[in-house]
Amino acid sequence: MTTEVLVIGAGLSGLVCAQQLRQAGINATIVEKSVGVGGRMATRRIHGIWVDHGAQYITVKSDEFERFIYRLQEKGIVQQWTRRVYQKSPQGLVAPPPEDLYPRYACPKGMTAIAKYLASGQNILHNTRIVTATVQDGLWQLLTDQRHLLTAHVVVSTIPAPQMLPVFENVLPAQSPFMQAVQSVRFLPNVTVMAGYSLGHEIPPEWYALNVIDYPTVRWVSYDSSKHLDTATNPVFVFQSTAEYAFESLNETNLEHIGKTVLTQAGRILEPWLATPEWWQVHRWRYALVAEPLGVSCLRTTTPLPLICAGDWCAGTNIESAYRSGCAAAEAVLGCLQ
């Protein structure tokens, strides 16, 4: 199959890039290794309740992204969740300063609702992973894990840099600035625990969104049910680990054991009952957050053929950065095709 542009990854950057290309009349195909869309804007439906186990909320800084979020609000996809993120350390609980009192947005049906909206009408090959890339007759030749050959004039890669490197490193100049930039990117892992509790517990408003610092295991606590009031019946919390604990447990295959350690620490930090939920699930993110973004809107090369990298690891560490990177990638593609 030949396409003008092949986008690898159906996270926010890939979806935004492909949507803008389609609006410009460009034939773009997205290849996604998973059955769903959204990447780290991830949501599970557990016992009939939406639970966000990836990105936790959205902030808005630029006018362009504000317009995008406003459109999503009009469609009921996004709503304001909270203006306050508290901080918990061994020294106690601290309220946010006045300059940090700005809107955090969430999705009543989970963060993947944004990705599903953007994916509507797009050409997406699900359950498909690119394993090798070569160049022949002036086209990218991309082989999938199902041994299908995809060809394209331009490739946009929006997957984490460590996943992209094995695909392209044999065809790109090893000492090029492009390759050196991609090789420099380092990601931090994360362990996320989703936990449901019985009714009757008192839940302070400070627990809705809580940054945890100076503890060895837990770095984030959120009362996830407060985002999904239409489906929430019992309290559901999301706990995210520190990168240090996630690194230490990367070789541990027993996710239940890893999750129990996170829950135990949460119970010690806040209240003991948090350590013993009625149910809980664990998800490990090997590439949860870029340690230091490149500080560019997107990364591009034309040698041997146009290849553009986009994602939060290029432009920043949040959802708005991923959106801006996807927009920049689309502009870069249009420049290559002119």
What's the distance, CA 171 to chain centroid? 28
Q: Residues of 141-179 as b/e, b for ≥16 C-beta within 10 angstroms?
A: ebebeeeeebebbbbbbbbbbebbeebbeebbeeeeebb
**CATH annotation of 2-35+126-185+294-337:** 3.50.50.60
Break the chain into its structural domains and give their ranges.
2-35+126-185+294-337, 44-110+187-290
285-330: pLDDT as tens digits = 999 999 999 999 999 999 999 999 999 999 999 999 999 999 999 9
pLDDT band at 231 (very low <50, low <70, confident <90, very high): confident
Q: Are 277 and 196 in contact (CB under 8 A)?
A: yes
Beta bridge partners of 132: 143
Mean pLDDT of 86-103: 97
* pLDDT score recorded for residue 202: 92
144-179: pLDDT as tens digits = 999 999 999 999 999 999 999 999 999 999 899 999
Q: Residue 283: which residues within 8 A CB-CB, separation 6 or more?
A: 42, 44, 53, 191, 192, 194, 255
Q: Which of 98, 86, 96, 99 is nearest to 206 (CA)?
A: 86
Class of domain 44-110+187-290: alpha beta
